[in-house]
Amino acid sequence: MGNKTIGEFEELVLLAVCILEGNAYGITVKNEVEKHSNRSILLGAVHITLYRLQDKGLLKSELAGASAKRGDRRKRLFRVTRKGMEYLRAAQEVRQKMWGLIPRLSTNA
């Protein structure tokens, strides 16, 4: 876990938190990821990832924003940290750099 890079699912969750900007918590993140990736994921898995990212210092959170739908309970709202943004950018740069290196025609050697 000491690795400086982040996993694919982590990246998706992190991106979802960025998109949701201020309204990112377990369920919205789950929905957002499901919406873009077209796959069904477990709420528990989202929570694990959110907490893990928070421990890595890529996310921060606070309890706020109770709604009637939740039975007047507050939710843990996540926000991306500067470090989180750096990680995201780094991940994107790596991809772009590598994309750029792919020859136009794939070789089957």
Partner 1 sequence: MKKEPRSSAHRIADWLLDRYVATSYREEFLGDLEESYEDRKASRGKLVADVLYLFDTVHLIYGFSYTNSNYPTRHTMFTGNMLRIAWRNAIRQKQFTILNLLGLTIGIATCLAIGLYVYDETTFDTFHPNGERIYRVNQPMIWGDWNTQFAATGPGVAEALREDVPEFEQVTRIYNPGEITVRIPGKDAAQFMESEFFWADQNVFSVFVFPFLKGDPATALHDPNSLVITERTSRKYFGANDALGKVVEIKVNDSTYIPYTVKGVMADIPLKSHLQFDMLGSLNTIPLMKTGSSTWIWTIFATYGLVKEGADITALREKIQALPPKWAPATTERVFNQKFDAYLAGKKWTLYLEPLCDIYLASSPSWHRFGPSGNRQFVIIFSVVGTLVLALSCINFMNLSTARASNRAKEVGVRKVLGSDKRLLVWQFIAESTLYVLAATIMAMLVVQLSLNAFNVLADKHLDLLSQLRDPWFVGVLLIFVLALGALAGSYPAFYLSAFKPAETLKGKVRSGFKRSGIRNGLVVFQFTVSIALIICTFFVQRQLAYTSTMNVGIAKDHVLQLHYMDQLGDNVEVLKNQLSDNPAFTNVGLSYTTPPNVWEGDRYKAEGPDKPVVDLGYLRADEQYLPLLGVEFVAGRNFDPTNAADKHKIILNEEAVRILGWGTREQWMNDSPLGKHVVQAFGKEEKLEVIGVVKDFNFNSMKEKIGPLLVMHRDNNLHWSYHSGPLYLSARLNPAVVQNSDEMQNIIDKVQKLVKAINPSVVFQYSFMDEEYDNSFRTERRMGAVLNIFTLLAVAIACLGLFGLAAFAAEQRLKELGIRKVMGANVRELVFLFSSEFTRLVLIAIVLAMPIAWLLTDRWLSNFAFHTPIEVWVFVVAAVSALVIAGLTISYQAIAAARTNPVETLRNE
Rule CB under 8 A: which residues touch partner 1?
1, 25-27, 30, 42-48, 51-52, 54-55, 63, 66-71, 73-76
Shorter beta-carbon distance to partner 1: residue 30 or 91:
30
Task: State the minimum distance, in angstroms, from the CB of residue 29 to partner 1.
Answer: 10
Tokens linked to 63? 């309890």
Task: State the minimum distance, in angstroms, from the CB of residue 32 to partner 1.
Answer: 14
What is d(CA 50, CA 103) in angstroms, rounded to the nearest whole number? 37
What is d(CA 38, CA 72) in angstroms, rounded to the nearest whole number? 31
Tokens linked to 65? 């924003």
Shorter beta-carbon distance to partner 1: residue 55 or 93:
55
Task: State the minimum distance, in angstroms, from the CB of residue 43 to partner 1.
Answer: 6
Q: Bridge-partner residues for 80, per DSSP? A: 59
Q: State whether residue 61 is helix, strand or coil.
A: strand
Shorter beta-carbon distance to partner 1: residue 1 or 101:
1
Task: State the minimum distance, in angstroms, from the CB of residue 42 to partner 1.
Answer: 5
What is d(CA 58, CA 14) in angstroms, rounded to the nearest whole number? 8
